[in-house]
Structure 1
Amino acid sequence: MTPQGIAPLPAAHQLSLTPGERTRHPRHALALAAAWTATRVGMLVLLLVDRIGDSGVAGEVHTLYRGWYDQLVQGAFPAGDVTWQYPPGAAVVFLSPAALPWFTYFQAFVAVILLADAVVTIALARAGIQGAWLWVCGVPLLLNVPLARYDIPVTAIAVLALLSLRGRPHLGGVLAGIGAMIKVWPLLTVLGTPPGRTTRAVWSSALTSAAVLLGVLLIGFSDPLDFLRHQGARGVQIESLGGTALHLAGKLGWSGEVAYQYGAFEFTGPYVSSVARLSLALSLAALSWLVIWRIRARRWNPATPYDAAFAAVLLFTVTSRVISPQYLVWLLGLAAVCLTSRHTTQRLVALLMVPAAALSALAFPMLYGEVIDGTVIGCVLMVLRNGLLLLAALLACRRLWLSTVP
């Protein structure tokens, strides 16, 4: 058997080994732990200093998240708040700092994020070390942003759901349902489950856990579904694919402007509503393609659920009206899961998430003023980042289709 430190173990061998045997080389485990510690300390310093660009990354936790927390502990969702655009399960994450009462809200929130980050690292290391290295080295490319957003805990649930599907399908389904109530997209982790008993077990568990969590929140809180009113009113954010098209149109004489609304910088002006509708239409087209793929797929391997989830989230990311930099946290997590299996067809696509994350950090927070103003530098950054994500989505779908559809 090839030593783990030299080359990745075949997935079939990984399944037959205990978790400790998969990462039994002490030097390898120590190197991963050292890399995680060093990079996370660096991210934490950047967050505490918070002087990258003119963004004020930490302010979102200090003001917005803390304000939501103060309302949630009173048993009420932020009704009427246009910045609250999350499924009701998100309340669990924003309330989680209460478990660390000896810290300030900001300190406790960051501690929760780091704990979730460590859980993802350990889970990936037990499944396949290449994926763990991608996660450990890829997330810091986003600088301090991941520590001041709630996307790492969501990604942790999605990663655990995917890694549980093979041995514990019911648990994978439960986690997917919980994740869907927090951020919706983790439900896509059940998309590629093998047909038959496994799919029935996973999908029923996901629906059950989502329904139970929603029921608890409906009983315990007021206005848990108020977020639906604000989602439909959102426009085209400047970092989206549609926003990139509008930025380029501005260079050709389009008269639209950038305004801060619904908690983000969005475009206003002629044709913006048409671009928003086109984005929604493309998302529906992506959903239709995924349904057709699921119906046509006949060949499954151990990595198919990972590849399908990764391709699906890529599709919905590039067709979104938003594409915030923290979306790369999701994609890095799913890419890392793909790399835990030698059967994956998404190895190249997974590696494309590294430059995509670096470009995202350049756009926000480092040069966000350039992106807002639509300067040449800002436009080039958005064209490169979004073009890379679009290429990755198309390539992921093509590889998924060729590997599963006769």
Structure 2
Amino acid sequence: MTTPRTASQPPAPHLPPALSPGAAALRQSVPIATVWAVTRLGMLVLLLIDRLGDSGVSGEVHRLYRGWYGQLAHGAFPLGDATWQYPPGAAVVFLSPAALPWLTYFQAFVALVLLADATVTLVLTRAGRQGAWLWVCGLPLLLNLPLARYDVPVTAIAVVSLLAMASRPHLSGALAGIGAMIKVWPLLTVIGSPPGRRTLTVWGSAAASAGILLGVLLMGFSHPLDFLRQQSERGVQIESLGGTALLLARAWGWSGDTVFQYGAYEFTGPYVSGVVRLSLALSLGALCWLVLWRVGARRWNPAVPYDAAFTAVLLFTVTSRVISPQYLIWLLGLAAVCLTSRHTALRPVCLLMVPAAALSALVFPLLYDEVVSGSVLGCVLMVLRNGLLLAAALLACRRLWTATS
């Protein structure tokens, strides 16, 4: 027998039906998708206009990539080309526009970059929306540059590799190996793999996939290892940490100069070779620190593989003889992966990538002539950008060590 409702009892509120998990996730992803579409349209317009700064950003696709495509399509890697400094797996990316034969090379390349960008956004949204927001809002700070470089597809491989490590270690390692054959640095994503059987699985899969891809390229193309000679002869790029030191030294009377070689502006003159050796020594020191961290790490949470990969790439970025603006694409992608986990120890470091990306856009393409000429403004920009990256790398090392030791 039910008790009748009295006049003093309010009517039961009308509750909307609960959303299913899939519908709720779709509803929450709509703002991310909207911002992605708007910002990427703006980046595309900037690329088509291509009037930012002193030099056209799209020229690298029109001239270099398109020229390499012609050689690679005939089964040969560029031989004796000073601008070809990439591992042989990069051929896969430069040949990929052939999959869209109804478009020009430039149109197909940009379309594939946008597809890779959308893939990163999708997997980050599913893993954790904070990371997706960092990627979606951080990448446009680099203006049109990401659409005219092949670093977004490489970053997509690294992001998927990291996010797959917990549940699909074979896939994670295979993607890391493929990424390493395309641009080396994705191999660093395996540095933080959980100890035990999973590490053996990830590292073994990485070695196997890299070896298989290299074998295919060795059989199908001539001169696949010529890039090693070009890479070894590189000097100090003006945008690197060592380049910043030489930029300041020139302002104080150093007699060195800048020349365009190996596809970038580099310093020539006294002490440049010493700076090169110092950069290589610092990179070796970074590797030794990572090995020491790996051996001494005792506490492992779900974010450690992400934090370790981000820290490793940061270290090798700041110690490199070259810090091109597209390196920030890698760092934004890895920072976004870190933010997908509430366990990350590198949240402050991840957020530092936002001003670093904005400063990089000022360095290139907006005010690149100031940097090349070594003006006061150019020196200030380089000190701020590279000082920020150096501070981020040191902070990442300290927080990673504290969180795991």
Assess same fold via TM > 0.5: yes
Task: Give the whole-Å Cα distance in 2 for the aligned partners of 1:382 and 1:391.
Answer: 14
In 2, the alpha carbon distance for the partners of 1:110 and 1:60 equals 12
What is the CA-CA distance between 1:55 and the residue it aligns to?
Answer: 1.5
Higher alpha-carbon Rg: 2
**1:247-266 to 2 correspondence within 5 Å?**
247-266=247-266
Distance 2:247 2:24 in 1: 51
Q: How far does residue 27 in structure 1 lie from its aligned partner after superposition?
A: 4.1
Query: Equivalents in 1 of 2:370, 2:27: separation in Å?
Result: 43
- Counterpart of 2:308? 308
For 1:34-77, what per-residue CA distance to the aligned partner results, in whole angstroms no more than 9, with x for missing partners? 10000000000000000001111000000000000000000000
Which residue matches 1:4? Answer: none
Q: How far apart are residue 28 of structure 1 and its match? A: 2.4
Distance 1:22 1:289, change over 3 A: farther
Query: Which residue is equivalent to 2:390?
Result: 390
- Kindly indicate whether residue 211 of structure 2 is the aligned counterpart of residue 218 of structure 1: no
Aligned residue for 1:358?
Answer: 358
- 1:361-390 Cα distance to aligned partner (Å, 9 max, x none): 000000000000000000000000000000
Q: Deviations over 1:132-176 (max 9, x none)?
A: 000000000000000000000000000000000000011000000
Q: Could you tell me which residue of structure 1 aligns to residue 87 of structure 2?
A: 87
**What amino acid does structure 2 have at the position aligned with 1:359?**
L
Q: Structure 1-normalised TM-score?
A: 0.94
Q: CA deviation at 1:240?
A: 0.3
1:208 paired with 2:208, answer yes
Structure 1 CA distance for aligned equivalents of residues 322 and 190 of structure 2: 24
SS at match of 1:267: strand
- Output the CA distance in 1 between the equivalents of 2:293 and 2:194: 13
Long gaps (5+) in structure 2: 1-19
Contact kept, 8 Å, 1:87 with 1:227, in 2: the verdict is yes
CA distance in 2 between counterparts of 1:339 and 1:260 reads 38
| 1:245-299 CA-partner distances (Å, limit 9, x unpaired) | 0000011110000000011000000001110110000000000000011111111
Q: SS of 1:29's equivalent?
A: helix
Task: Verify: 1:230 aligned to 2:202, yes or no.
Answer: no
Give CA deviations for 1:292-320 in whole Å, capped at 9, x if unaligned: 11111111000000000000000000000
Tell me the equivalent position of 1:344.
Answer: 344
2:173 alignment partner in structure 1: 173
Deviates more, 1:27-36 or 1:240-249: 27-36
Provide the aligned C-alpha RMSD in A: 0.9
Q: Name the CA distance, whole Å, in 2 between partners of 1:125 and 1:243.
A: 37
- Structure 1 runs (4+) greater than 3 angstroms displaced: 20-23
Given that residues 22 and 127 in structure 1 are in contact (C-alpha distance below 8 angstroms), is that contact kept between their aligned partners in structure 2?
no
The one-letter amino acid paired with 2:196 is G
Report the identity percentage.
76
- Per-residue CA deviation, residues 318-347 of structure 1 (Å, 9 max, x unaligned), is 000110000000000000000000000010
CA distance in 2, matches of 1:22, 1:303: 25
CA–CA distance in structure 1, aligned partners of residues 209 and 169 of structure 2: 13
Map of 1:240 onto structure 2: 240
> What pairs with 1:35-46 in structure 2 (closer than 5 Å)?
35-46=35-46
Q: Tell me the secondary structure at the aligned position of residue 344 of structure 2.
A: coil
Q: Distance in 1 between matches of 2:191 and 2:394?
A: 18
Secondary structure at the residue paired with 1:122? Answer: helix
Q: Is the 8 A contact 1:52 1:366 kept in 2?
A: yes
Match of 1:51 in 2: 51
Distance 1:270 1:362 in 2: 29
Match of 1:151 in 2: 151
Give how far 1:29 is off. Answer: 1.3
- 5 Å matches for 1:14-163? 21=21, 24-163=24-163
3-state SS of paired residue (2:316): helix
Deviation (angstroms), 1:24: 2.4
Partner of 1:327: 327
- Equivalent residues of 1:128, 1:339 under 8 A apart: yes
Query: Structure 1: how far apart are the matches of 2:227 and 2:42?
Result: 35
Distance, in Å, in 2 between the alignment partners of 1:255 and 1:124 is 48
Name the SS of the counterpart of 1:215 in structure 2.
helix
> How far did 1:21 drift?
3.5
Q: Is 2:277 the counterpart of 1:277?
A: yes
- Report the 3-state secondary structure (helix = DSSP H, G, I; strand = E; otherwise coil) of the residue aligned with 2:136: helix
Give distance in 2, aligned partners of 1:361 and 1:158.
23
Specify the SS of the correspondent of 2:259: strand
Q: What is the one-letter code of the residue matched to 1:44?
A: L
Structure 1 position 26, deviation (Å): 4.4
Kept after mapping to 2: 8 A contact 1:170/1:205: yes
Give the AA of the match of 1:196. G
How far did residue 22 of structure 1 move?
A: 7.6
The whole-number CA distance in structure 1 between the counterparts of 2:22 and 2:133 is 14
- Once residues 320 and 21 of structure 2 are traced to their aligned partners in structure 1, the CA distance between those partners, rounded to angstroms, is 41
CA distance in 1, matches of 2:206, 2:30: 36
Provide the residue aligned with 1:14 in structure 2: none
- Cα distance between partner residues in 2 of 1:21 and 1:335: 27
